[in-house]
A = this chain, B = another copy of it.
Amino acid sequence: MKTTLNLETIYAPIHAGLARIPALIRETLDTPIPKIRAMVSNFFSKDGKLLRPALILLGAGLARSLQPGDGIPSERNETAELYLAAAVEIFHAATLIHDDIIDSAPLRRGVAALHVKSGPQAAVLAGDFFHDRAIVTIFRHGNDRIVPLFLKTAGEICEGEVLEISEKKNINITEEIHLDIIRKKTASLLACALQTGAFIWGMDPAKAEALGRFGNFFGVAFQLIDDLLDFTGDEREFGKTLGSDLEEGVYTLPVIRCLTTADRDKVVRILYSRSHSRRLPMLQEVLEKSGALDYALVKAQGFIAEAKRELEVFPPSPFRTGLELMADYVLARKR
């Protein structure tokens, strides 16, 4: 019997908590100002994957499973789990909103991006508003391991984004720099979410470190697959415009790899050509033939394998299984 790998199955051990997150997100972003209310309901009109809240809840579950009898029940900690899970999604939304302005991305979750609907000016402010509300919630419900971790992560994300802009249109960008960018930009927040969950329930430092490494490997693989889908995905299922990184001059691993092969000159010609409409199909063909798409997939698989190895320090539990399934899901996902 084949188990279908879908998020519903993976999220089963944290289902009850996760179901409460959308309402807590709305509560956290509540404001009397009509324009902000409109942007909030606009942004959250389509449900996201709630990946980061799920990681907080899985990290928390993992930490509780280490304690005798699943730990002492603590209402304060259970509340913290839920509010911090809402906060990490809002925090992520803030970076997405600014990111979409920065990348001039027209679509987000299959609908017009906020800066397209509400204008770039309101979108800059909406991002600031989301960010501030997230930080307030993190201060209120976090502890002295969680708050500094979040602030450090916010800095890393910002650094990763600036590095990405600095490396735009650089046909000599190395794989190493590219991986550093996606670790900072994407993986750091996934690792932070897991560790936040763990820190709520006082996981010991060595195990929390392992969980953080899982998050980093997992997160880099997640982004590599995301970037692969930018070439191979189905636009409607993926919910984003294909090839948008390319048009912005952001070169992802398949392109970076292909630039080190015999096809380099061909790729450079395509990247420099003015024919926007034909660039993506032309590149898709070269990347496919040269094996660069496969190369990126194998890399992602390698990171997922490394990620799973980090989970070996944890005794079996539904939460550990959830993380393992999530790692598999990253390789199988289409959106």
Is A3 located at the chain interface by the 8 A CB criterion?
A: no
Give the residue among A120, A122, A125, A135 with the most B Cβ atoms within 10 A.
A125
Is A325 located at the chain interface by the 8 A CB criterion?
A: no
The distance from the CB of A197 to the nearest CB of chain B, in whole angstroms, is: 21
State whether B33 touches A162 (Cβ < 8 A): yes
The distance from the CB of A30 to the nearest CB of chain B, in whole angstroms, is: 12
A142-200 contacts to B (CB < 8 Å): 147-148, 151, 154-155, 158-159, 161-163, 165-166
Is A329 located at the chain interface by the 8 A CB criterion?
A: no
Is A5 located at the chain interface by the 8 A CB criterion?
A: no
A202-253 contacts to B (CB < 8 Å): none
Give the residue among A33, A129, A147, A162 with the most B Cβ atoms within 10 A.
A162
Q: How far is the CA of A41 from the CA of B120 in the complex (A)?
A: 26
When C-beta atoms are compared, the residue in chain B nearest to A147 turns out to be: B139
Give the residue among A33, A35, A132, A133 with the most B Cβ atoms within 10 A.
A132
State whether B125 touches A102 (Cβ < 8 A): yes
List residues of chain B with CB within 8 A of the CB of A121: 101-103, 165
Q: A33's contact among B101, B102, B128, B159, by CB below 8 Å, is which?
A: B159
Is A69 located at the chain interface by the 8 A CB criterion?
A: no
Is A260 located at the chain interface by the 8 A CB criterion?
A: no
List residues of chain B with CB within 8 A of the CB of A129: 155, 158-159, 162
Within the oligomer, what is the number of copies of this chain? 2
Give the residue among A103, A131, A158 with the most B Cβ atoms within 10 A.
A158
State whether B151 touches A132 (Cβ < 8 A): yes
State whether B161 touches A125 (Cβ < 8 A): yes
Q: How far is the CA of A266 from the CA of B161 in the complex (A)?
A: 48
Q: Given A102-B121, A136-B151, A34 and B131 touching (CB < 8 A)?
A: no
Is A79 located at the chain interface by the 8 A CB criterion?
A: no
The distance from the CB of A159 to the nearest CB of chain B, in whole angstroms, is: 6
Is A124 located at the chain interface by the 8 A CB criterion?
A: yes
The distance from the CB of A122 to the nearest CB of chain B, in whole angstroms, is: 6
Give the residue among A122, A124, A129 with the most B Cβ atoms within 10 A.
A124
> What residues of chain A have their CB less than 8 Å away from a CB belonging to chain B?
31, 33-36, 98, 101-103, 120-122, 124-125, 127-129, 131-133, 135-136, 139, 147-148, 151, 154-155, 158-159, 161-163, 165-166
